[in-house]
């Protein structure tokens, strides 16, 4: 039991988990923030009774293109989807690296399973 806990909670695995989680959360946060940024714009208020018809300084007003509840829902949903996509990509790349199929490390066909017709093995003349 002690060996299982030691191998399951090694420093390398915990560090990889923290880096993966932090990076995917950050990318998800950026994607959610972009939704808010793209669905709002700023306008300088016009002359009105509120600013004494231009005597007081004008203020910047934020205008939402979507209702605020929908903006929050879309940003949370998109952020979550991007976060999970990044986690899935990291897990896929880690699995490819473990099996040796990562780009540039090995051929597409494992060495033990090459047949006579593969381009990597010399074909025998009949």
Query: Which uninterrupted H or E stretch holds 15?
Result: helix 11-38
What is the rounded CA–CA span in Å between residue 33 and residue 52? 35
Q: What is residue 117's predicted lDDT score, i.e. its pLDDT?
A: 53
What is the rounded CA–CA span in Å between residue 37 and residue 71? 10
**pLDDT tens over the chain, length 126 residues:** 888 888 778 888 888 888 889 999 999 999 999 998 999 988 888 877 777 777 878 888 888 898 989 999 999 999 999 999 999 998 898 888 888 776 555 555 555 555 555 555 554 444
pLDDT, averaged across the chain: 80
* SS3 per residue for 82-113: HHHHHHHHHHHHHHHHHHCCCCCCCCCCCHHH
Q: What is residue 51's predicted lDDT score, i.e. its pLDDT?
A: 74
Q: What is residue 11's predicted lDDT score, i.e. its pLDDT?
A: 86
Half-sphere exposure of 70 (CA within 13 A, CB side): 6
Q: What is residue 28's predicted lDDT score, i.e. its pLDDT?
A: 93
What is the rounded CA–CA span in Å between residue 112 and residue 119? 14
């Amino acid at each position: 039991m002690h060996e299982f806990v030691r191998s399951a909670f090694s420093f390398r695995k915990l560090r990889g988990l923290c880096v993966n989680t932090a990076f995917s959360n950050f990318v998800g946060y950026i994607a959610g923030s972009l939704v808010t940024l793209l669905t709002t714009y700023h306008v300088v208020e016009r002359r009105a009774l509120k600013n004494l018809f231009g005597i007081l300084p004008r203020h910047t007003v934020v205008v939402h293109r979507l209702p605020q509840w929908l903006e929050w829902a879309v940003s949370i949903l998109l952020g979550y989807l991007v976060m999970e996509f990044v986690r899935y990509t990291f897990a896929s790349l880690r699995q490819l690296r473990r099996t040796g199929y990562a780009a540039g490390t090995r051929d597409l066909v494992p060495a033990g399973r090459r047949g006579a017709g593969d381009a990597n093995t010399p074909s025998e003349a009949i």
